Amino acid sequence: MSSGLSYKDSGIDLDVYNEAMGRLPRLMHRTFSPRVVPLDGGFAGLFKLDFDNPLFRRNYVDPVLVSCTDGVGTKLKVAIEAHRHHTVGIDLVAMCVNDAICCGAEPLFFLDYVAMSHDDPDRLEQIVRGISDGCVQADCSLMGGETAIMPDVYARGDYDLAGFCVGVVEQKDLITGQAISAGDVVLGIGSSGIHSNGYSLVRKIVFERHRLDVAAHIPDLGETVADALLRPTYIYAAVLRKILRYYKVKSVVHGIAHITGGGLEENIERIVPEGIQVEIDCQTWERPAVFPWLQALGGVERDEMYRVFNMGIGMALLVSPYYADNIRRMVEQTGHRCWVIGSVVTGATKVILQNK
């Protein structure tokens, strides 16, 4: 009898791996648009930039491809502790797609990379089901991805995620922020809560300092720790698509900022041109209850809260004042909350947060 080693001896069972891979095609196919060229089992995904059908043809003149990549960060540690892996798949799509739409792009397709400590078909299916759900929300196709089993890199039960989104926008419709000018209005679209940033601080407060269990009930929030911390990131593709299709001229929406790590100040600052100052009134919107709970639990300084977290605003739109009220109503018709949270003036400081 041979005493030679096998791949299974190193921690990778190819039979289990193949079982896991067999569960994924149906989760991909439900996201496909007519522009996807079927190639099951191929080495790459195929996507046509335009439709063959004259009714849906885009007739691009000067298309620009937009690409984004991101992960979910240490929110994954909470998902692992709670044995709840579906919502972080939605987070993965959201963190990429929400960046792409800041340029005015239509998300086209998405790819994922899942790295795991060991073969786990059930867990992988949960993760990819969430990614599939996120792609359905964003109206983009899950074209494929890669699953890597690396037992010597990840501790047993750990995993990591990376996502990649490609979108398209006509050159003339590209939104860069350079059109932002004095007199513009800042609209804030509500977040679902923490989204997917600042979880190293969250975990420090909740699990290390106070040693709360993920199943613990939080009276102030009326839900468990897991429910509060694993609520998925909102995907804003549908609402932005509605606004940008209605207002087809660049003189309406001048800038879009996805509020992630760095908070309102650092993310809006990225798109503001020189000589322009954005003044945000932090008393103009309602914060999800999870933020004051975290602040009190950790004794976190107010400035630090606004620098680390979105504080209830997931997306900021800088728009022409004439159209601001109608855009706000359009956002609210999609089920998202929206507030006028600031204004644009001339000035040297790009972003000022007032009344924190």
Residue 2 reports pLDDT greater than 70: no
Confidence of residue 110 (pLDDT cuts 50, 70, 90): very high
Residue 17 reports pLDDT greater than 90: no
Average pLDDT on 85-103 reads: 97
The pair of three-digit structure tokens given for residue 355, joined into one six-digit string: 């009344």
Angle formed at CA 128 by CA 122 and CA 132, multiple of 5 degrees: 140
Please list the alpha-helical segments (H only) found in the chain: 14-22, 25-29, 75-82, 87-100, 121-138, 199-203, 225-229, 237-246, 263-269, 290-298, 302-308, 324-333
Tokens 């639990």 -> residue:
297
Helix (H) or strand (E) holding 73: none
Confidence of residue 54 (pLDDT cuts 50, 70, 90): confident
Residue 6 reports pLDDT greater than 90: no
Average pLDDT on 310-314 reads: 98
Residue 93 reports pLDDT greater than 80: yes
Please give the Cα distance from 7 to 165 (Å, whole number).
33
**pLDDT, the chain, mean:** 93
Domains annotated on the chain, with CATH: 8-38+46-173 (3.30.1330.10), 185-354 (3.90.650.10)
**More confident position, 39 or 117:** 117
- Count the neighbouring beta carbons within 10 Å of the beta carbon of residue 210: 12
Indicate the DSSP class of residue 63: E
* Three state DSSP letters for 168-189: EEEHHHCCCCCCCCCCCEEEEE
Average pLDDT on 149-170 reads: 95
- pLDDT of amino acid 27: 85
Please give the Cα distance from 62 to 205 (Å, whole number).
49
- Whether the predicted model's global pTM rises above the 0.75 cut: yes
- pLDDT of amino acid 9: 66
Q: Are 68 and 162 in contact (CB under 8 A)?
A: no
Residue 300 reports pLDDT greater than 90: yes
- pLDDT of amino acid 13: 79
Q: Dihedrals φ, ψ of 351, to 5°?
A: -140, 130
- pLDDT of amino acid 3: 65
How far apart are the two ends of the chain, measured CA to CA in Å?
73
At 314 the three-state DSSP class reads strand
Average pLDDT on 38-65 reads: 86
- pLDDT of amino acid 42: 76
At 257 the three-state DSSP class reads strand
The pair of three-digit structure tokens given for residue 135, joined into one six-digit string: 């792609």
Q: Are 192 and 234 in contact (CB under 8 A)?
A: yes
Residue 20 reports pLDDT greater than 90: no
Residue 245 reports pLDDT greater than 90: yes
User: Tell me, what amino acid is at 329?
Assistant: R
Please give the Cα distance from 128 to 126 (Å, whole number).
6
At 162 the three-state DSSP class reads strand
Please give the Cα distance from 4 to 181 (Å, whole number).
70
Question: Please, which residues bridge with residue 148 across strands?
Answer: 115
